[in-house]
């Protein structure tokens, strides 16, 4: 996947710089090319000889290298690369990137970039949590940079918390995902696909809420399979037991109304897949204070109202705005085929994937799923398979449907 792809790897000064060596090895093993740039501080932890030898390209550090600058070297570096990765990225270098400073080769290359940038922050937990760092982080995200990590864990200084650089294999996975998604030979390259996932929560009062047992595993597996097939994925997720896949654009929501708003804001798209377990109802009025027991032991009554129907609202859009494929999910506990068929007709979606989530099936929260697939031709029963396999099977069917319309 990385054959013929060139990564410009900027290593900044921090104890995590030693992990950059493993990252170089992973990229090279996958057939990719690496051009290292080491800041002056990085060279306190990793020598240019070590990085350059493993990369097969001399590690660079000097902005005013007369040989390279005769060819406008700092511009040539980023134009020649397919991707820029900063790992580790210190708090100081984050600040430089956020404010457009360019006082060395690394920061000048970033300012002159015309390529995607993946940033792997690494710093003390207090530095990471500091308000200026968080402001700089928000700026980098707004500028379109992709952030990987940091992880929670013990620091070299002995403190514990977020700030550890993501492991090299995690950063490498993000690099692979990026190149995979930009490969125009992949079946869903150039397609924008929206996926909802996870569970919504409807507040009853400041400490209680209505929700369900969805783990988010199926929606996450679908998004990962779509990304692997080259799609640009908008991933709108409620509460989930698993993290979002690498390389997707994530929007976190809490309530059904939040999800409705996020979905319509994310349109237009080529395909919309509604895998989230959305609460059908919410309290008409959530309490502003914790609801207390009554003295007589009587339970409080709650007046419920319907939440907006996200799937139906998208399926009913004007053809000029409606996705080519609108795909729903139906979690049923009885009469699965009958109820799912009626739901598809009621919602107006093109496809519907139904599953039995009754007690004992292990579907909610489990790693496998049994799907009954509905479309205009009727329904078909898929064999029980892992949720990753369901994601790949659905992705293959989507690719076939979209490509058949060309």
What pLDDT is stored for residue 66 in this prediction? 46
Neighbours of 326 (CB within 10 A): 23
Nearest one of 354, 312, 311 to 332, comparing CA atoms = 354
What pLDDT is stored for residue 136 in this prediction? 93
Q: Which of 157, 269, 275, 349 is catalytic?
A: 157
pTM: 0.63
Which two three-digit tokens encode residue 266? Answer: 């994310």
Average pLDDT for the chain: 87
What pLDDT is stored for residue 95 in this prediction? 95
Instruction: Tell me whether residue 308 is annotated as binding.
Output: yes
pLDDT of residue 223 exceeding 90, the answer is yes
Instruction: Tell me whether residue 311 is annotated as binding.
Output: yes
Between CA 65 and CA 80 the distance in angstroms is 17
Tell which wins on pLDDT, 163 or 357: 163
pLDDT confidence of 65, banded at 50, 70, 90?
Answer: low
Number of residues that this document lists for the chain? 406
Q: What is the mean pLDDT of residues 16-24?
A: 92
- Is domain 187-404 classified as CATH 3.40.50.10300? yes
What pLDDT is stored for residue 98 in this prediction? 94
Q: What is the 8-class DSSP label of residue 406? A: -
What pLDDT is stored for residue 121 in this prediction? 94
What pLDDT is stored for residue 2 in this prediction? 78
What pLDDT is stored for residue 315 in this prediction? 96
Nearest one of 89, 23, 82, 79 to 50, comparing CA atoms = 23
pLDDT confidence of 70, banded at 50, 70, 90?
Answer: very low
| 309 conformational bin, left if phi > 0, alpha if psi -120 to 50, beta if neither | beta
pLDDT of residue 43 exceeding 80, the answer is yes
Nearest one of 33, 40, 31 to 11, comparing CA atoms = 40
What pLDDT is stored for residue 380 in this prediction? 93
DSSP track, 189-258: TT-EEEEEESB--EEEETTEEE-----SHHHHHHHHHHHHTT-EEEEEE-B-SSPPPTTSEEEE--SHHH
Between CA 113 and CA 224 the distance in angstroms is 28
What pLDDT is stored for residue 366 in this prediction? 74
pLDDT of residue 224 exceeding 50, the answer is yes
Q: What is the mean pLDDT of residues 378-383?
A: 92
Q: What is the mean pLDDT of residues 280-285?
A: 87
Residue 89 a catalytic site member: no
Question: Is 187-404 in the same CATH topology as 6-180?
Answer: yes
pLDDT confidence of 9, banded at 50, 70, 90?
Answer: very high
Instruction: Tell me whether residue 160 is annotated as binding.
Output: no
Between CA 228 and CA 251 the distance in angstroms is 19
Question: 169-204, pLDDT tens digit by residue?
Answer: 999 989 988 887 676 677 898 899 999 999 999 998
Tell which wins on pLDDT, 285 or 381: 381
Question: 134-152, pLDDT tens digit by residue?
Answer: 999 999 998 889 999 898 8
Q: What is the mean pLDDT of residues 37-50?
A: 91
pLDDT confidence of 120, banded at 50, 70, 90?
Answer: very high
pLDDT of residue 230 exceeding 90, the answer is no
Burial category of 338 from C-beta neighbours within 10 Å (exposed 0-12, middle 13-18, buried 19 and up): exposed
pLDDT of residue 360 exceeding 70, the answer is no
Instruction: Tell me whether residue 329 is annotated as binding.
Output: yes
Between CA 155 and CA 15 the distance in angstroms is 10
Show me where the domains of the chain are located. Answer: 6-180, 187-404
Q: What is the mean pLDDT of residues 367-395?
A: 91
Between CA 41 and CA 176 the distance in angstroms is 28
What pLDDT is stored for residue 362 in this prediction? 58
DSSP track, 81-125: -SEEEEEEE-HHHHHHHHHT--SSHHHHHHHT--S-EEEEE---H
pLDDT confidence of 78, banded at 50, 70, 90?
Answer: confident
Instruction: Tell me whether residue 325 is annotated as binding.
Output: no
Q: What is the mean pLDDT of residues 50-63?
A: 88
Tell which wins on pLDDT, 79 or 73: 79
What pLDDT is stored for residue 285 in this prediction? 84
DSSP track, 257-322: HHHHHHHHHH---SEEEE-SB--SEEESS--SSPPPPPTT-PPPP--EEEPP-HHHHHHTS-TTTS
What pLDDT is stored for residue 69 in this prediction? 46
Between CA 10 and CA 20 the distance in angstroms is 9
CATH for 6-180 (3.40.50.1100, 3.20.20.80, 3.40.50.1950, 3.20.20.140): 3.40.50.1950
């Amino acid at each position: 996947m990385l054959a013929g792809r060139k990564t410009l790897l900027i290593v900044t000064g921090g104890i995590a710089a030693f992990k950059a060596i493993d990252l170089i090895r992973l990229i090279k093993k996958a057939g990719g090319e690496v051009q290292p740039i080491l800041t002056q501080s990085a060279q306190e932890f990793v020598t240019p000889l070590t990085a350059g030898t493993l990369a097969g390209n001399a590690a660079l550090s000097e902005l005013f290298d007369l040989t390279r600058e005769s060819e406008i070297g700092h511009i040539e570096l980023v134009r020649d690369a397919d991707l820029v990765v900063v790992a580790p990225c210190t708090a100081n270098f984050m600040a430089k990137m956020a404010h457009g400073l360019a006082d060395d080769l690394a920061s000048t290359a970033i300012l002159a970039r015309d390529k995607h940038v993946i940033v792997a922050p690494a710093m003390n937990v207090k530095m990471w949590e500091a308000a200026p760092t968080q402001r700089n982080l928000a700026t980098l995200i707004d500028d379109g940079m992709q952030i990987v990590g940091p992880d929670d864990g013990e620091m070299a200084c002995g403190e514990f918390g977020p700030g550890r650089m993501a492991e090299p294999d995690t950063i490498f996975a993000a690099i692979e995902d990026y190149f995979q998604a930009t490969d125009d030979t992949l079946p869903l390259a150039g397609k924008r696909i929206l996926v909802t996932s996870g569970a919504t929560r409807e507040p009853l009062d400041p400490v209680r809420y209505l929700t369900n047992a969805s783990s988010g595993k199926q929606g996450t597996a679908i998004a990962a399979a779509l990304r692997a097939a080259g799609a640009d994925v908008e991933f709108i997720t409620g509460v989930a037991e698993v993290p979002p896949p690498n390389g997707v654009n994530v929007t976190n929501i809490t309530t059904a109304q939040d999800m409705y708003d996020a979905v319509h804001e994310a349109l237009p798209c080529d395909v919309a897949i509604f895998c989230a377990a959305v609460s059908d109802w919410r309290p008409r009025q959530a309490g502003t204070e914790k609801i207390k027991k009554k003295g007589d032991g009587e339970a409080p009554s709650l007046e419920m109202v319907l939440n907006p129907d996200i799937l139906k609202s998208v399926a009913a859009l004007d053809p000029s705005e409606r996705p080519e494929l609108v795909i729903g999910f139906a979690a049923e506990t009885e009469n699965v085929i009958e109820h799912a068929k009626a739901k598809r007709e009621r919602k107006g979606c093109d496809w519907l994937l139904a599953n039995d989530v009754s007690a004992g099936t292990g579907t909610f929260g489990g790693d496998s799923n049994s799907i009954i697939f509905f479309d205009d031709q009727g329904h078909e029963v898929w064999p029980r398979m892992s949720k990753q396999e369901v994601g790949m099977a659905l992705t293959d069917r989507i690719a076939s449907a979209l490509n058949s319309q060309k």
